[in-house]
């Protein structure tokens, strides 16, 4: 039987876990980074590194990295989800509204990504109930420990309490660095990855949530138009603020030059498929191995690994899955207190890749904090910059249609419902009403659920 995803609906919550407060330690970190408890958040996910980042708006109105969480388990291969049952976790841009927060999950707590979004639907992709949830078990989802999802859920809840109507999840195959683009240059998904890298670059140069639209079955970012965007139709004439367009263009030229140099220096190409079903962050994998494998509850600094965890098989010789380069991360701005938490450190697996192939990127001079774009909470003192006209018809790109080879599925958990639930008429109406947010249908929440606090926003 093909599995659509992680159906997380459970009985009405009586534990109150969805209302657990932020820890004193996390609140201290928030204050130390010049943030408010209820300020907006943004989430980035990186499959190859098995990491999830939570960014939070600071008092300058821009996003800064709050915390990096190692991902306990994700399934499938690098590349987007194509069809129901392929076990792929989604890649792309997904807005999360309060209605997508599930306090009654069979997997402790869950956040529905909203797959398929407008881009996915325009490209004929199928599947549903693809979540970020707890319990360290995945069938097309991003699975965290219960402790981690409790904290991530609480950060999202506080942002909604503070007035954020939706937060953006950006899901990537890997950190979109020149080294990783060089490694994966032969992937059948490269055209798709170059497209979503543009959104990655918009965020990197502005530290603002990029506005995301879809036309001609492509993502477009920070586009301003007097006409409506339609996912499957021709793109209308649109403009991107000139300071953002210039900054993104400069970054892309630098990245492309570095990628070409790395290839010319002999950076080996990754195989098209990993040969294993997903991955687990090295922190968790090491903990499981140190206990002789699964079968017992394992306590770690990042949360509890349940006894039923199904770790991935060892990657075959030549696989790059376990060689994700920690050295390819961009350095934080010199005046920022933001630090990227590393699960393994440069002396671990990432450092091994750099030493083995000699393909480590050259150190870059530290960059000042981004100044392009205008934070929403900071009105511009000067008149709006002149904008540049972007071609109405972006370069044609073939829609990715290559599905990853389907590995043997893990035995289903007894308490999880393996059958996808039908989408109700309420869900269809919600998806239509939020089409401008590229939101897919979310499971209907029970009457006592989180959504009731925010019904006026839908």
Element (H, E) at 69: strand 63-70
- Is residue 427 within 8 A of residue 442, CB to CB? The reply is yes
The phi and psi torsions of 37 (rounded to 5 degrees) equal: -60, -35
**Cα–Cα dist 120/431, whole Å:** 14
**Cα–Cα dist 178/251, whole Å:** 11
**Cα–Cα dist 301/2, whole Å:** 35
- The catalytically annotated residue of 133, 189, 202, 218 is 133
- The catalytically annotated residue of 6, 136, 141, 235 is 141
Report the interhelical angle of 242-264 vs 190-206 (nearest 10°).
130
Q: What are the helix (H) ranges across 189-267? A: 190-206, 242-264
Check if 141 is active-site. yes
CA separation, residue 291 to residues 136, 284, 287 (Å): 16, 11, 7
Provide the β-strand partners of residue 53: 44, 68
Residues 6 or more apart whose Cβ sits within 8 Å of residue 81: 88, 89, 90, 91, 115, 120, 125, 127, 130, 140
Provide the β-strand partners of residue 194: none
Q: What is the dihedral of CA 126, 311, 181, 213, to 10 degrees?
A: 30
Residues 6 or more apart whose Cβ sits within 8 Å of residue 136: 72, 73, 143, 144, 145, 284, 305, 306, 309
**Cα–Cα dist 350/238, whole Å:** 41
Got the DSSP string for 345-394?
-TTSHHHHHHHHH--PPPP-PPPPPP--S--TTS--SSPPPPEEEE-SSP
Q: What is the dihedral of CA 401, 76, 266, 202, to 10 degrees?
A: 70
Helix/strand/coil percent split, the chain, to 5 = 30, 15, 55
SS3 285: helix
| CA-closest candidate to residue 225, choices 436, 446, 4 | 436
SS3 425: helix
**Cα–Cα dist 146/155, whole Å:** 14
Element (H, E) at 101: strand 101-102
Check if 133 is active-site. yes
Residues labelled as active-site residues: 133, 141
């Amino acid at each position: 039987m093909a599995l659509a995803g992680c159906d997380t609906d459970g009985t009405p919550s009586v534990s109150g876990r969805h209302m657990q407060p932020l820890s004193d330690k996390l609140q201290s970190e928030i204050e130390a980074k010049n943030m408010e408890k209820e300020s907006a958040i943004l989430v980035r996910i990186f499959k190859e590194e098995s990491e999830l980042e939570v960014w939070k708006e600071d008092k300058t109105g821009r996003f800064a990295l709050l915390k990096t969480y190692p991902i306990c388990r994700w399934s499938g291969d690098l590349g987007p989800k194509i069809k129901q049952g392929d076990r792929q976790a989604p890649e792309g841009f997904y807005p999360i509204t309060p209605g997508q927060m599930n306090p009654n999950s069979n997997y402790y707590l869950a956040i529905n990504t909203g797959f398929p979004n407008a881009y996915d639907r325009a490209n004929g992709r199928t599947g549903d109930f693809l979540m970020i949830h707890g319990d360290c078990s995945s069938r097309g989802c991003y699975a965290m420990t219960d402790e981690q999802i409790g904290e991530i859920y609480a950060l999202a809840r506080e942002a909604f309490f503070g007035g954020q109507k939706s937060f953006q999840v950006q899901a990537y195959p890997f950190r979109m660095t020149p080294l990783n683009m060089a490694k994966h240059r032969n992937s059948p998904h490269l055209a798709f990855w170059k497209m979503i890298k543009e959104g990655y670059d918009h965020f990197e140069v502005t530290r603002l949530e990029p506005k995301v639209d879809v036309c001609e079955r492509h993502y477009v970012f920070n586009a301003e138009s007097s006409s409506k965007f339609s996912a499957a139709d021709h793109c209308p004439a649109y403009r991107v603020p000139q300071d953002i367009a210039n900054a993104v263009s400069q970054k892309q030229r630098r990245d492309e030059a570095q990628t070409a140099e790395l290839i010319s220096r002999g950076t080996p190409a990754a195989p098209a498929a990993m040969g294993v079903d997903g991955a687990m962050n090295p922190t968790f994998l090491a903990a499981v191995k140190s206990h002789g494998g699964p079968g017992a509850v394992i306590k770690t600094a990042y949360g509890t690994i349940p006894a039923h965890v199904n770790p991935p098989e060892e990657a075959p010789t030549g696989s790059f899955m376990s060689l994700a380069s920690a050295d390819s991360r961009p350095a934080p701005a010199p005046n920022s207190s933001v630090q990227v938490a590393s699960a393994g450190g440069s002396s671990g697996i990432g450092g091994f890749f750099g030493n083995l192939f000699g393909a480590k990127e050259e150190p870059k001079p530290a960059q000042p904090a981004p100044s392009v774009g205008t934070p929403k909470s900071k009105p511009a003192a000067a008149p709006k910059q002149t904008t540049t006209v972007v071609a109405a018809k972006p370069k044609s790109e073939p829609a990715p249609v290559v599905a990853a080879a389907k590995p043997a599925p893990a035995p289903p958990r007894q308490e999880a419902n393996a059958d996808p639930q039908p989408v109700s008429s309420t869900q269809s109406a919600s998806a239509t009403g939020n089409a401008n947010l590229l939101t897919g249908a979310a499971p209907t929440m029970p009457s006592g659920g989180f959504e009731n606090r925010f019904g006026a926003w839908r």
